[in-house]
Amino acid sequence: MTEEAYARAEADREGFWAEQAERLDWGRKWDRVLDWDNPPFAKWFSGGTINAAVNCVDRHVQAGRGDKVAIHWVGEPVDDTRDITYAQLQDEVNRAANALTELGVAKGDRVAIYLPMIPEAVITMLACARLGAPHTVVFGGFSADALASRIVDCGAKVVVTADGGYRRGAPSALKPAVDDAVAKADGLVEHVLVVRRTGQDVAWNESVDKWWHDVVDAQSNEHVAELHDAEHPLYVMYTSGTTGKPKGILHTTGGYLVGTSYSHWAVFDLKADTDVYWCTADIGWVTGHSYLVYGPLANGATQVLYEGTPDSPHKGRWWEIIEKYGVTIFYTAPTAIRTFMKWGRDIPAGFDLSSIRVLGSVGEPINPEAYVWYKENIGGGAGDGAGAPVVDTWWQTETGQILISPLPGVTEAKPGSAMRALPGIVADVVNDEGESVPDGSGGYLIIREPWPAMLRTVWGDDQRFKDTYWSRWPGVYFAGDGAKKDEDGDIWVLGRVDDVMNVSGHRLSTTEIESALVSHPKVAEAAVVGATDDTTGQAVCAFVILRDSAGDEDAADNADIVTDLRNHVAKEIGAIAKPRQVMVVPELPKTRSGKIMRRLLRDVAENREIGDVTTLADSSVMNLIQTGMNTSDD
Ligand code: PRX
């Protein structure tokens, strides 16, 4: 990608996207690049037909690259590795597609995937894409309840899971949560396909459960793929919003694949023949979808897929993997970088990381200290000792693809800034009235023009799609983030301006956690805020008022309740949502109209002087809160 692409895309945006679409194999070519006749419902490459799995796998085999490694899979137990070539991936995807067909999955049916980071996760996603059966991947850290609500919301008839996976040196279980979720989904799930990963004992329900090795391994490795309409649904990914219920973000096939393959190539300066790429995201998040499955595989890249945690069996595991496979492009999150900073530079210094030439960051703003540490300590061997370029990539589950990022070799990056919109993307920062702010000012981050990988709707709820993203200023996509433009017009993303928290790069809704807390019989009222945290960016802090019957204000009783409530949230939503702190308080600060003033609670959670309390209905409440609170932060 070169500087001239920005001007070319600006002069003819649709022409530019059509050019990018030529990177893929189409059945029938599109009639129109963009149909925006009925905004905000976009159709990209309308009239075109395409198969995502064929583009990610078969076409590389047909082009004579079947022996190229698609995935260097690294299990968490040392030496548990597998290299999978594109030809082998094709066989496996075909078998899985045949197996799903045998289980009654047809085009349009939904399949839920609840798997660890094992090859079967990628294989199942591609098999679904091949059949045109939208997948919904649920992160393995989500609870049975969260899994059940996603299964029910999108009506999944098959669930693909494993007996467990390896994390932090020990097998962890997955199947019990699926059993629970299947029971809660009340007859909706017809089959559960179970990969044997750890060999641990699992409960078995003969009427729905089937082993992967029994059903898939016996299938033919041939499968004739159907071409799907460019707008055929590819997947639904649930994400937290400002209300209690997660939204099913719908991505479709043609535009999504164009957007992800283009951005993966442009942002990482991909040279598919020589690069070894590694994105550390879990497949259960959008980054795992766009930049671990669809983008890199559509581009025919060779990549690493690692099952476990960075500290197992030692804190240099990631760097050992980079050294072993000669990783050239590495993509991770600021929270991980900050953790490595704490562990010390000696750990990466013990490994040969000289293969690295591009570093990426995603999920939350990267603070300049982390940026510089990353460039120097992980990318230090690149660029004649100047360090590898770091691309700070801004995007969202909804955007499907990276929208704002520097380009290596093109943009002179600034630590902490996502810089400018990619060629083909029109982003801006606006004020309350929706007017573009001048350079040097802050406001709301918006996208002015549709882009190929944009979400198409919220599953089953077009109105919510319109209200959430397109109603604040007509015709403009509002991302929910605040940002500023510096004196050069470069963009600095500041973080969410709504009730969404960002914990370790994962999106969590304050209201969803509040609902979980008040569902506990002892809780009368709850308010949740995201407080700044050195490692995770933000941390969940909850303030709860107990019901009268919950006991007296005795500190020992409260300590039990705090533990109980933290576990309750983990059970309701998942361990990622477990509050760092629960504070039992006698009152919550409210305005005269009854709105909770989270700003003041954030002051308490961050140990700051309490801000302006003049709008409180009862200004003595903050004194009560500060003297009466009870905390836990194990
Ligand atoms: O607040 C922004 C933050 O993460 C949000 C999107 O979260 P999610 O849909 O879970 O997707 C995460 C992976 C793409 C955004 O609204 N965010 C993401 N990347 C950045 C970021 N904030 C600042 N800088 C980034 N590079």
- Residue type for 28, please? R
609 falls in which pLDDT band (50, 70, 90)?
A: confident
Six token digits for residue 414: 């600034």
Mean pLDDT for 274-297 is 98
**Closest residue CA from atom 13 of ligand 1:** 363
Going from the Cα of 331 to the center of ligand 1, the distance in angstroms, rounded, reads 14
556 falls in which pLDDT band (50, 70, 90)?
A: low
628 falls in which pLDDT band (50, 70, 90)?
A: low
Q: Measured between alpha carbons, how far apart are the two ends of the chain, in Å? A: 47
* Closest residue by Cα to residue 449 from 2, 8, 5, 10: 10
559-598 pLDDT, tens digit per residue, is 799 999 999 999 999 999 999 999 999 999 988 888 888 8
536-551 pLDDT, tens digit per residue, is 999 999 999 999 765 5
Mean pLDDT for 448-459 is 98
Residue whose tokens read 């029938």 = 28
pLDDT at 550: 57
Q: Are 109 and 133 in contact (CB under 8 A)?
A: yes
pLDDT at residue 81 greater than cutoff 60: yes
624 falls in which pLDDT band (50, 70, 90)?
A: confident
301-325 pLDDT, tens digit per residue, is 999 999 999 999 999 999 999 999 9
Angle at 262 between CA 370 and CA 382, to 5 degrees: 40
269 falls in which pLDDT band (50, 70, 90)?
A: very high
**Closest residue CA from atom 22 of ligand 1:** 364
**Closest residue CA from atom 3 of ligand 1:** 364
**Closest residue CA from atom 24 of ligand 1:** 365
- Ligand 1: which of 249, 362, 374, 393 to mutate, judged by most atoms within 8 Å of the beta carbon? 362
**Closest residue CA from atom 7 of ligand 1:** 396
**Closest residue CA from atom 6 of ligand 1:** 396
Going from the Cα of 31 to the center of ligand 1, the distance in angstroms, rounded, reads 33
- Ligand 1: which of 396, 444, 458 to mutate, judged by most atoms within 8 Å of the beta carbon? 396
Summary mean pLDDT of the chain: 94
Residues 6 or more apart whose Cβ sits within 8 Å of residue 610: 600, 603, 604, 622, 626
**Closest residue CA from atom 18 of ligand 1:** 363
pLDDT at 36: 98
**Closest residue CA from atom 21 of ligand 1:** 364
227-257 pLDDT, tens digit per residue, is 999 999 999 999 988 776 899 999 999 999 9
pLDDT at 150: 97
pLDDT at residue 105 greater than cutoff 90: yes
Going from the Cα of 283 to the center of ligand 1, the distance in angstroms, rounded, reads 16
pLDDT at 631: 47
Going from the Cα of 153 to the center of ligand 1, the distance in angstroms, rounded, reads 24
Going from the Cα of 395 to the center of ligand 1, the distance in angstroms, rounded, reads 5
Going from the Cα of 273 to the center of ligand 1, the distance in angstroms, rounded, reads 30
Going from the Cα of 494 to the center of ligand 1, the distance in angstroms, rounded, reads 10
pLDDT at residue 555 greater than cutoff 70: no
Going from the Cα of 27 to the center of ligand 1, the distance in angstroms, rounded, reads 34
Point out the ligand 1 atom lying closest to the alpha carbon of residue 494.
23
634 falls in which pLDDT band (50, 70, 90)?
A: very low
Q: What percent of the chain has pLDDT over 90?
A: 86
Distance (Å) of CA 111 to CA 137, 256, 434, 459, 543: 8, 19, 40, 14, 38
What's the gap between Cα 230 and its chain centre? 23
pLDDT at residue 131 greater than cutoff 50: yes
Q: Residues near ligand 1 with C-beta < 6 Å?
A: 239, 286-287, 362-365, 392-397, 418, 479-481, 493, 495-496, 502, 507
Q: Is the pTM of this model over 0.75?
A: yes
Going from the Cα of 362 to the center of ligand 1, the distance in angstroms, rounded, reads 7
Omega before 40 cis (within 30°)? yes
Q: Are 136 and 236 in contact (CB under 8 A)?
A: yes
Angle at 620 between CA 615 and CA 626, to 5 degrees: 110
Point out the ligand 1 atom lying closest to the alpha carbon of residue 496.
1
Concatenate the DSSP letters of all residues of 186-213 into one string. Answer: TT---EEEEE-SS-------TTTEEEHH
329-360 pLDDT, tens digit per residue, is 999 999 999 999 999 999 999 999 999 999 99
492-538 pLDDT, tens digit per residue, is 999 999 889 999 989 999 999 999 999 999 999 999 999 999 999 99
Going from the Cα of 364 to the center of ligand 1, the distance in angstroms, rounded, reads 5
Angle between helices 119-131 and 86-102 (to 10 degrees): 60
pLDDT at residue 632 greater than cutoff 50: no
Secondary structure of residue 146 in the 3-state scheme: helix
